[in-house]
Structures are given as structure tokens and as C-alpha cells.
Chains A and B, each alone.
Chain A
Amino acid sequence: MLVHLPPPWNPIFGRLGLILHYRYNNPMIFFAFELVFVGAAILLFWLTCTRRWHTLWRDWLTTVDHKKIGVMYIVIGLVMLFRGFFDALMIRTQQAMAVGPTAVSFLGAAHGYLPPFHLDQVFTAHGTIMILLAVTPILVGLMNLIVPLQIGARDMAYPYLNAVGLWLTATAAALVMIALFIGDFSHAGWVGLTPLTELAYSPGPGVDYWIWAVQIGGLGTTLGAVNLLATIIKMRAPGMTWPRLPIFTWTSVATNIIALTSFPVLTAAVGMLALDRYVGTHFFTAGLGGDLMMYTNLFWTWGHPEVYFLVLPAFGMISEIIPTFSEKPLFGYTTMVLASMAIAGVSWSVWLHHFFTMGASPGVNTYFSIATMLVGIPTGVKVFNWLFTMYRGKLHFETPMLWAVGAIFLLISGGMTGMMLAVPAINYIVHNSVFVVAHFHNMILVIVYATFGAVTFWFPKVFGFKLDGRYGRRFFWSFTAGSLLVFVPMYLLGLMGMTRRLDYIAHPAWYPLLLIQVVGIGIYILSVIYFLGMLAVSINRRETRRVGADAWGSARSLEWATRSPVPFYNFAVTPVVHARDEWAWRRERGLTDLRPERYVDIHLPRNTVVPLVIGAFSLVFGFAMVWRIWWMAACGLVGVIAAVIIRSFARDTDYVVPAEEVRRLEEAAARAPRPDTATAAAGATLPPHAQPSVRS
């Protein structure tokens, strides 16, 4: 052992002896434990009863199909979103209970029901999960699903690497979930404040869980970025030139340039922190030449590009949804592309605005202040482009459009408060207040709105049937009411001086606003129920909700040119692209229902178990590193390397679907009783309440 650790430690079990000292008497943990284990037991029982193990193994766990990998990314993201929502629920109820000297107290807490150490873990888990394990996987999943279809590719450039990225992300999510039950989680905020995260102040395994979840998940995201960029550069269909690239694909280019270049900086920063905790170096310690602001600088050098990594695909989704439901091409395509690239570029020079109060010179603060305000220019361009797209359009307010328009409202309010925070003089006043928390939740809600819109928008493409519009609207409006009731009071509380991460609120005057926030989170619970209701109703009635290739009748880009659900080979024959909005181009020329006159052999990658094995070994490695079980960590690492080497000797990694088989599959699909594109285009399949409302 290179560092001084409090006992116990032994060579076989590492620090696992510590768990004997944890007191598992907290009903909150038991509730979570039950939820996870009962849920898992029901799932396993269902899989066994319906004999789905083989399907699960063949169609999902060993797949290298980009569509299935995308769906699994989104499922991981939704599960973690649910977990992060529970954390939010706990933070809001704790703060509403722990107000003033007469605050109620339960479960051994002095105020409210969460002792500070527990609350600290809850908000750390909330932030880490929501940013890195909920929003990131959902966005990466959507890019995985849609980008190859939009550019007319058979698959990603590296299907096997794609699966590796997925299982590394799953490993990170698993580590965070394991931390809930075995040991504890970091208590130092999702940013991992130094020197609080150093061994001297956080001797438990919590920070180590955070470190390895961030490192393994970050590696997965970086590999995903390599893959998406190479796919877009190398795998485009003939005629898909750069000026014809669909706008969501363009924002994917911008966002993956950010991911590729910024995630390594996070790896470096958290790696240096890990060296401090494992080897005893002095990068961020309080003495012996450690520099804690170095960590803060490096973290936000990643952290701010990361924010734009999240928001750019969301902008791309809004830019796909609005033209479809306005029946107009996107206004200002070129400026939209330039704005995306400008946002990606400027994202690298604004990180210091997260800590204007560090004490840098006025010159430094001014530079970062102006750079931050510059972000408003390309973002403003985007907002006006969307508005001009809708202007004089034939608007249909289907669920995806509701989410997209909601996202614009949120972007404007969040952008305005962002401009306020970009002024150092204002920033000094509201630094570390819940005003900042309200601002960045406002911005992340932009992403969440765009994402829910995109999921509703592309769901019929992937699964072949539409989500229920009635439940979709209920979900949208309850979610919006919840957002307003939680975050408008939060802005006000911030301006009143409430600081973030409070376990106890000494100021009773804030009580009414805190109570309104609890009402808001209650409505959020309602929205979760509507969301689940939407899924249940839509899946139950899927046979009546089937759609043709163009699910919305007015879609524009290439992914709508193949059938829904997308066959495993994406396009029966690779399409040739003639225009920026290829599907709209074909529709306008009446070319939508033409079948290719012949088919050709299709080359596809074979399933492989290796990515799953790599994920499993990296989970072993991460868990062993957290508990400092060196032999087990070595096994995990050697296992990963051995799996990679063994795979490199595999020769039979691809297979061919013969042209005759493709023809059979295509003709069977054409005979299936479902509305064809012509009737869908005429709006005949829209339910009466969803008939287009015309605005001019």
C-alpha cells in the first residue's frame, strides 16, 4: 500500500471488511434495495416464463447492430433517469422539511430525514447520474440510431467498437448502482470538489466509486465519438455530400468533435485525482505542492464543452422536428451548420466562468466573460432560424412539436439567465446560489425536452408504431407544469440568497417557495406515470398504430426512406441522394413508393460476445479498484486485454445476406397489412384529434 489507509484491509478482500461497519438501518436504502431487486426478480421471472433468454442473448446482448445498441443506450439512460429522479425527489423533500428551528426530524437526522452525509451523497449521485449516465447515454443512443440511417449507411464504421462503448457505459451505470448497496457513494458533489475528494477528507470508498464510474463511462463515450465521426466521414451514401448532410448529423459532427477532444481532459483530471488517492501523489492535495484550483480548471475545461456536447444534438433534434411539423424546409441551413461549429469552437474558451470568484485578475475574468457572451450569437441564430422555419408554415402540434417548441421557450429563458451569469459582477453575487442551479437545470431541460421530442419523433421509425398522442400530451403538460413549479421558485430563492446543497434552511421566509417546489416535484411524479402510461397504451394497441416508412407524412430526411421498423440491413439497396432533404425531394416527385428493380448481396458484421465480456471484466476491474482488491483488479485488466487479443484472431467476423433473401424479406414486408406511405402522407392515419391544425 502506497498510501496510509484506515484499517481494515487484507490482501484477499481488500477493504470490503468496511461494509461490516455500515449500518444498513436506513429505510430509504431498503426501499431502493427492494425496488431494484424485486424489479430484477420480476424481469428475470418474465424472461424465463416467456422463454426469452435466447432472444435476449442473440438479439440484444451479443448484437453489433447500431439500432439495437442505440435502443439499449436509451434504455440504460431511462433507467438511470428514473434513479436520478428519485434522488431529486429526496433533495426537494428534505429541503422542504428542514426549515427553521422547529423543523421536523425523522430517522435520526437532526432536521428532515436525511443526515448531511447522506444528503451529500444523494445530490452527488443526482448530478453524476443525470449528466453522465442519463442524458449522455440517451443522446449517444439517439445518435447511434439515427445518424447511420440519415446518411444511408449499413451500420457504424466500427460495429464491434460500438458495442464495446455500450457495455463500458453499462459498466459505469452498474458501478453507481452497486455503490447504493455496497459501501457508499461520493459526497463531494458531481464536480468532485478538491481537496474534499482527497483521501484525507474522504477516506471511504465513495469517491473511488465516483472515480471509476466516471473513468469507465468516459472511455465509452470517447470510443463512441471516434466511431460516430468516422461513420459520418466515411460511410455516407452516394450523393450525400457535406452540404446535403441532414442537420442532426451535422450537430452530431460538432458534438463528437467536442466529445473526442474534451473527455480525455476529464480522464486526465480524474486520473490525477486517482493517483492522489491510490499512489499518494500531490496533484490536488492541500499541501506539499498540491494545487486544488488546477483540478477545478481541468474539470471545467472538460465540463463546459461537455455542456455543449449535450446541447448540440438537442439543437439538431429540434432542427429536424420543426421543419417536419411546419411542412417547410429548415430556414438557414448553412447558418445552422456554422452556428453548431461556432458553439463547438467557443465551448473551449469559456470554462473559467464556472469560477469567476477564484480570484483571477480582472483581465482574465473579462476575457472569459466576453467569450461566454459570444455563445449567445450562434445560439440566437439558431432560435431565429427555428422561428423563421415556423413562420407561415403549416404547423401540426403533434407531441414532438410540443416538446420542440417548449425547448425553444426554455432555451430563451435559460439563455437570458446565462447572459446574466456571464457578467462577473452579477456572478459574484449569485455564485454558488440556487440561481445558478436553476439556470443550468433550465438549460438541461432544453436537452430533456428536445430528447423527449426526438424519442416520440423517431419511435415509429425504430419500432414501427406511434406513441399514443393523448398520453403524450398529458406527459408534456404535466412535465412542463412540474418544471415551472420547481425551477421558477428556485430562481427566486437564488436571488434571495439561498446557497446550493443546503441540508438545513435557517430562513423560514423561504418556506413557501420550497413548498411550491415540492408541489412541482409531485406533478413530476404524475408526469412519470403518464410517461409509463403512454408506453403501456402504445405497446398494447401497437397493431392499430402501425405506420409506413414516413410515419408523420411530412418528414424530410433520408431515414424516412426505409421501412418502419427499420430492417436489420437498414436499406434494402443503398439509396442515391439527390437533395438536402432527400425524402422530401422524392415525395415531391412522387417517388416514395418505388421498390428497387433488383437487390444485391448485403455484407453485415456477425454478432459477438466479446464486447459483453470486455464490459464484464471492466466491471470486475472497477469494483476491485474501489475496494483495493489488487489481485481482482489485475484479473479484470488482464481479462480485458486477453479478450481484445483473442478477438483479434477471429477471422469469421462478417456474413452475407444473399440478394434473394433480401428480396423475400422486402416482399413479405410489402405484403404486410399496414398503411403504406401514400395514405400516411395524406394524413389518413392520423387520429381525429391529431388532425393538422392550419396556421398561416
Chain B
Amino acid sequence: MTMKTTDDTATGQATGGLWAFEDRGHDPVSTRTLGFWLYLLSDAMIFAALFAAWGVYLHNTAGGPTIHGIVHPLYAFAETAVLFTGVFAYGLAMSAVKRAWRGGALLAMAAALGFGAWFLGMEIHEFSGLAALGAVPERSGFLSAYWTIIALHGAHIALALLWTGLMLVQVLWSGFTEKVVYRLLNLRLFWHYQAVIWVCVYVFVYLRGAMR
């Protein structure tokens, strides 16, 4: 089974190629970003499952409010504008990072925080209106799905806000170190991902409600 060769020249030639002495430099930043992409894929599957279920629950109103009665696509359009402005602000923060401009990055991140909080406030306002109407998640399968999808997206935004706040502190604390930069890059992916999910929410929930 073993073909032992004692040919010294052959061995000598081969040893040079057996080991990699140079550090090939696995790029740590791109490794982190890849992992975050993979996480986003799995997170998107949660939303995919919920949207698939939504297609069924849309009709399970149990005699309660229907989709047409509770959605306000124009109000939601305003929410969309606020959220997207927040995402855009975060994008500006990243272009400031590229130029290593700390002040600009901090300012734009603070703006993203502000718009994100504004968006959450609008959602809370919308939900408190629904609750006042009696359109609570305990009312029907349809309302359960409606609240769950939008609240889950809102919970993601809240997490993005917490993370952005933390990154503000870290940029102040240690500047643009490798660790801070890869976190900022991942957070950018997270913000954009919220925008993508919101597009689905807007189309499948709000615009669906506007269709007669």
C-alpha cells in the first residue's frame, strides 16, 4: 500500500512545496462580512416563512377587521420615506468611513439613529391606533400575522438602533480599527437588509390592502 521512495532529489524538490511558510493573510474583514451575509440569509428565511403564512392568514379574519379596513398605504409610504432616509444616512456614514473622516461618520450615524427612531415612533403610533379600534393580535389569525410581521421588522430596527448606538461609542472609543470597521460594514448590510424586508412588507401587506 505504501510506495516508499528514497530518491533524495525527488524528496528534496517536493519538500519546498509541502509547507506554506508565508502568512497568506486570510482577510479577516471579508471573512466577517461573508459570515454576516450567511446570517442575513438565515434571518431572511424567517421572514420568508412568515410571508408564506401571511398568504393564508390574510383571509382568516374570523369576522373581525379585514386588511382593507386597517392599512393606510399613504401613512406607510411616509414610514417608508423615513426608513429609507435613515438607511441613506447610514450609507453616507460609510462613505465618510472610507475617507477616514470620523466626524462625518459620527454625524451621519446619529442621523440614521434619529430617522430609525422616528420610523419606530410612527409604527408605534400606527399600532396604538389599531389597538384603539380593537384590531389587536388576539382578535384573529389575520391580525396575529399582521402584527407579527410588522413587529418583527420593528424589532430588527430596534436592534439596528442599539447596534448603531454601540458603534457610535466604539468609533469614539477606538477610532477606525479593523474590528470597528468590519462591524460598521456588517451594520451597513443590516441596515440595507431592513430596507429590503420593508419593501416586501410594504408590497405584501400595505399595497395588498389597497387592492380591491
Contact = CB atoms under 8 A, between A and B. Distances in A.
A681 interface: yes
B4 interface: yes
Given A157-B31, A261-B41, A578 B141 contact: no
B38 interface: yes
Contacts of A553: 1-2
Contacts of B17: 576, 578
Contacts of B1: 327, 394, 553-554, 681
Interface in B45-74: 45-46, 48-50, 53, 56-57, 60-62, 64
A301 B4 CA distance: 53
A522 interface: no
B138 A279 contact: yes
A649 B62 contact: no
Interface residues of B, number: 59
A574 B19 contact: yes
B13 to A, nearest CB: 10
A590 B20 contact: no
Contacts of A598: 21
26 contacts: A158-B32, A226-B35, A226-B39, A230-B35, A234-B34, A238-B20, A263-B42, A268-B45, A281-B137, A282-B62, A282-B138, A282-B140, A283-B141, A288-B139, A289-B61, A291-B57, A327-B1, A553-B2, A576-B19, A587-B2, A590-B3, A591-B11, A594-B18, A596-B18, A596-B21, A645-B166
A260 B38 contact: yes
Contact of A234 (B7, B23, B26): B26
Interface string A85-103: 0000000000000000000
Contacts of B183: 648
A649 B173 contact: yes
Interface in A251-295: 260-265, 267-269, 271-272, 275-276, 279-283, 285, 287-291, 294
Contacts, number: 175
Contacts of A301: 49
Contacts of A588: 2-3
A591 B35 contact: no
A648 B31 contact: no
Contacts of A272: 53, 144, 148
Contacts of B60: 282, 289-291
A39 to B, nearest CB: 36
Interface string B132-160: 00000111111011011000000000000
B9 interface: no
A32 B128 CA distance: 50
A578 B14 CA distance: 10
Contacts of B44: 264
A597 B21 CA distance: 10
B212 interface: no
A157 B31 CA distance: 7
Interface in B161-192: 162, 166, 170, 173-174, 179, 183
Contact of A589 (B5, B26, B32): B5
Contacts of B147: 281
A318 to B, nearest CB: 21
A281 B35 contact: no
A470 interface: no
A585 to B, nearest CB: 10
Contacts of A576: 17-20
B149 to A, nearest CB: 11
A590 B138 contact: no
B141 A573 contact: no
A42 interface: no
A591 B11 CA distance: 7
Contacts of A280: 137-138
B70 to A, nearest CB: 14
A267 B46 contact: yes
Contacts of B15: 591, 594, 596-597
Given A268-B50, A283-B144, A594-B15, A226 B38 contact: yes
Contact of B35 (A227, A590, A645): A227
A406 B48 CA distance: 40
Nearest to A2: B138
B49 A573 contact: no
Nearest to B40: A226
B99 interface: no
Interface residues of A, number: 70
A682 B26 CA distance: 38
A121 to B, nearest CB: 28
Interface in A610-660: 641, 645, 648-649, 651
Interface of A: 2, 157-158, 161, 222, 225-227, 229-230, 233-235, 237-238, 260-265, 267-269, 271-272, 275-276, 279-283, 285, 287-291, 294, 298, 301, 327, 394, 553-554, 573-576, 578, 586-591, 594, 596-598, 600, 641, 645, 648-649, 651, 678, 681-682
Given A288-B140, A578-B17, A238 B148 contact: no
A234 B20 contact: no
Contacts of B162: 641
Contact of B19 (A234, A290, A575, A641): A575
Contacts of A237: 20
Q: Which of B10, B45, B61 has the most CB of A within 10 A?
A: B45
Contact of B56 (A294, A575, A600): A294
A149 to B, nearest CB: 16
Nearest to A600: B21
Contacts of A262: 45
Nearest to B61: A289
Nearest to A266: B49
A390 to B, nearest CB: 15
Nearest to B148: A275
B62 A289 contact: yes
Contacts of B11: 589-591, 594
Q: Which A-B residue pairs are the 10 nearest by beta carbons? A: A289-B141, A289-B60, A281-B144, A264-B45, A268-B49, A289-B62, A289-B140, A590-B5, A573-B19, A280-B138
B161 to A, nearest CB: 13
Nearest to A682: B2
A382 to B, nearest CB: 25
Given A596-B19, A648-B183, A681-B2, A289 B166 contact: no
Contacts of B49: 264-265, 268-269, 298, 301
Contacts of B179: 648
A230 B31 contact: yes
Nearest to A659: B21
A261 B45 CA distance: 6
Q: Which of B6, B20, B61 has the most CB of A within 10 A?
A: B20
A279 B53 CA distance: 18
B47 to A, nearest CB: 8
A154 to B, nearest CB: 9
A291 B56 contact: yes
Nearest to A161: B35
Given A298-B49, A589-B3, A264 B18 contact: no
Contacts of A282: 60, 62, 138-141, 144
A281 B5 contact: no
A229 B21 CA distance: 25
Given A294-B56, A591-B15, A268 B46 contact: yes
B62 A288 contact: yes
Given A264-B45, A291-B60, A648 B20 contact: no
